Amino acid sequence: MSYQDEFIIQEPSAFEGKTGKVIVICREGLVHPDSHDLLWESDALKWIIPLEAELHYLGRYNGEQVFTVELEEQHFAPLAPQVSPLRSFLGKLPEGLFQLLGRAAQISEWHRAHRYCGYCGGVTTLVNNERATSCAHCGKVYYPRLSPCIMALITRGDECLLARNGQWQLPYFSVLAGFIEPGESAEEAVRREVMEEVGLRVGELHYKKTQPWPFPGQLMIGFFADYAGGDIQVDGIEIAEANWYHYKSLPNTPGEFALSGQLIRTFVQDRALRNGE
Ligand SMILES: [Zn+2]
């Protein structure tokens, strides 16, 4: 039997009865039964979840309803669970399951951050049939926040540009990335980030794909960008080093669980194919 990993996002009120699986979140990350089991059966939490806690419906995973709830340690301690940061699961889980956990973390973060209205300080409540909270006093509505980010792999013939971030502990090289500014298109963000980080101009952009990245709530938008001119100039702070690499001799790069790794792999496969390998 093949391993099933089907995650379907559904609306907040699309569940039938509050039974199924539950993802328990705390400030430190995921609260889970053990290293093999990351989700709880709703029955196991019956006496643990306090009345005031909100159970948020996420969708279906392998056909089963899945909810998430954020709990304080005093509530989950009796379960003697494991607590793991979400990052510790990067690259170690099937894609659908990781997306499900990321969704749980992001929904919990949104709910935690919008208990009070940012306009007037009033208490907010959940809106029916919508993933939103609203302020009882002034009516302002708060939705989960996504932060769009671009990723760009610059290519020049059989070479691509990879950079090492000055903040990273590990000596590996990746594609350029940055947040999209308010008032900016994704394409403009690619051109601006490339110029700011490595001093290059890029020509045509080729959209590849997107990936949700729950640290804490980015949507990564991946492009290939054709080199158009300029010499590499790095600021030495955000980007410590950037170089052109032939597709056959790449440095350490991110794994394919990350969009950056997928862009690099696609580039390598494409060049190998073009060169008749
Ligand atoms: Zn308000």
> SS3 string of 88-136?
HHCCCCCHHHHHHHHHHHHHHHHHHHCCECCCCCCEEEECCCCCCEEEC
135 occurs within a structural domain = yes
* Whether pLDDT at 166 is above 90: no
Mean pLDDT of 32-60: 95
* Whether pLDDT at 201 is above 50: yes
CA of 49 to the centre of ligand 1 (A): 28
CA of 136 to the centre of ligand 1 (A): 7
Band (1; pLDDT cuts 50, 70, 90) = very low
Q: Same domain, yes or no, for 253 and 152? A: yes
Task: Please list the residues that pair with 202 across neighbouring strands.
Answer: 227
Q: Same domain, yes or no, for 202 and 137? A: no
pLDDT of residue 242: 96
CA of 129 to the centre of ligand 1 (A): 20
Band (2; pLDDT cuts 50, 70, 90) = low
136 occurs within a structural domain = yes
Q: Same domain, yes or no, for 255 and 154? A: yes
SS (H, E, C) the chain: CCCCCCEEECCCCCCCCCCCEEEEEECCEEEECCCCCCCEEHHHHCCCCCCCCCCEEEEEECCEEEEEEECCHHHHHHHCCEEECHHHHCCCCCHHHHHHHHHHHHHHHHHHHCCECCCCCCEEEECCCCCCEEECCCCCEECCCCEEEEEEEEEECCEEEEEEECCCCCCCCECEEEECCCCCCHHHHHHHHHHHHHCCEEEEEEEEEEEEECCCCEEEEEEEEEEEECCCCCCCCCEEEEEEEECCCCCCCCCCCCHHHHHHHHHHHHHHHHCCC
CA of 145 to the centre of ligand 1 (A): 18
CA of 142 to the centre of ligand 1 (A): 10
Band (75; pLDDT cuts 50, 70, 90) = very high
Mean pLDDT of 68-92: 96
166 occurs within a structural domain = yes
| Separation CA 27–CA 75 (nearest Å) | 13
Percent of the chain scoring above 90 in pLDDT? 94
Whichever domain contains 49, its CATH number is 3.90.79.20
Q: Same domain, yes or no, for 198 and 270? A: yes
1 occurs within a structural domain = no
Whichever domain contains 250, its CATH number is 3.90.79.10
Percent of the chain scoring above 70 in pLDDT? 99
Q: Same domain, yes or no, for 12 and 86? A: yes
Mean pLDDT of 243-271: 96
* Whether pLDDT at 210 is above 90: yes
210 occurs within a structural domain = yes
Q: How many domains does the chain have?
A: 3
- Which tens digits make up the pLDDT trace of 3-39? 799 999 999 999 999 999 999 999 999 999 999 899 9
- What average pLDDT is seen over the chain? 95
Mean pLDDT of 83-112: 96
2 occurs within a structural domain = no
CA of 105 to the centre of ligand 1 (A): 25
Domain range spanning residue 31? 7-112
| Separation CA 193–CA 189 (nearest Å) | 6
Q: Same domain, yes or no, for 173 and 236? A: yes
pLDDT of residue 167: 85
184 occurs within a structural domain = yes
Q: Same domain, yes or no, for 15 and 89? A: yes
Q: Same domain, yes or no, for 59 and 159? A: no
Q: Same domain, yes or no, for 30 and 52? A: yes
CA of 127 to the centre of ligand 1 (A): 14
Select from 112, 127, 160 the last residue of a domain: 112
CA of 54 to the centre of ligand 1 (A): 20
Give me 249's structure tokens.
């001799």
232 occurs within a structural domain = yes
Q: Same domain, yes or no, for 139 and 173? A: no
